[in-house]
Amino acid sequence: MSHQTADGYDPSGDAREVVPGVYTISQRKGGRIHAFLLDDAGALTLVDSLYDTDGALVVGAIERMGKKITDLKHIVLTHAHRSHIGGVAALKKLSGAKLWAHEWESDIIAGERKSQTTTYVPKWPWRVYPIQLGLQLGVDGHAPCEVDAFAREGDSIGPLQIIHAPGHSPGHLAMYWKQRSAVFAGDALATWPALSLGWPGLTLNGKQNLRSLHKIDDLRADVIAVGHGEPATGDQIDKLRQLIRSGEIH
């Protein structure tokens, strides 16, 4: 049973089903962050790993689904910012799952390099400036973890097709589950605190991000799952598509 609040945060850590086989787990810390569990005939794939380093929210959600942590076969990371990679080291160790990321992000995940910074100048949305500042200062570290394999454009991992979607970071990935008409856009888009083409203060190259968004939009998915905020469906997708067409970057 989910205990989701009005702002999209689920304090229980339950996996809430978005469409059949696609579950979201949310956490307030890190900016209303979401990770996604995909159940493909009993084999689980995880997209991102939330903020906390112990992976407990993900483990608990898997157990409440009636499954074991060892049912997790793949972990795919959209990019190497702390909100997305916090629990990956613990979850990889507990599950034995294969860890995938873009090659450009891999040494950050391994703890060999800091995430590339953007700017100290406050950018909209103003309420996420503490996250932006933390990235600039490099104070928000994570437990290092070796990537097992590099994910590239067109690869198939579990039920997912990989899409290289640079802009937020050079190695940023999106993913598409065709059978569920669901795209996982990472931080290329956001639905919290408002619908937007990502967060400008944490996006390295806004024009490149917009080009990636046109690739994502071309898929015409029925669900757009994002890293920060609730998955978009229906009218929200129409509004995001309008933003993409207009190229409206705050």
pLDDT in tens, 28-37: 999 999 999 9
Would you place residue 6 in the very low, low, confident or very high pLDDT band (cuts 50, 70, 90)?
A: very low
Whether the predicted pLDDT of 2 surpasses 50: no
Whether the predicted pLDDT of 1 surpasses 70: no
Where b means 16+ CB within 10 Å and e means fewer, 106-138 reads bebbeeeeebeebeeeebebeebbebbebbeee
CA distance 185 to 163: 9
pLDDT of amino acid 67? 97
**Contact status, residue 22 vs residue 38, Cβ threshold 8 Å:** yes
| Angle formed at CA 194 by CA 225 and CA 219, multiple of 5 degrees | 35
pLDDT of amino acid 230? 97
pLDDT of amino acid 250? 57
CA distance 52 to 56: 8
Whether the predicted pLDDT of 41 surpasses 80: yes
Question: What does residue 98 show for φ and ψ, rounded to 5 degrees?
Answer: -80, 130
Mean pLDDT, range 88-117, rounded to an integer: 96
Helices (H) and strands (E) in the chain, counts: 8, 13
Whether the predicted pLDDT of 5 surpasses 60: no
**Contact status, residue 234 vs residue 224, Cβ threshold 8 Å:** no
Mean pLDDT, range 188-193, rounded to an integer: 98
Mean pLDDT, range 13-42, rounded to an integer: 94
Whether the predicted pLDDT of 123 surpasses 70: yes
pLDDT of amino acid 12? 55
User: Could you tell me if residue 66 is left (phi over 0), alpha (psi between -120 and 50 degrees) or otherwise beta?
Assistant: left
Q: What's this model's pTM, rounded to 2 decimal places?
A: 0.94
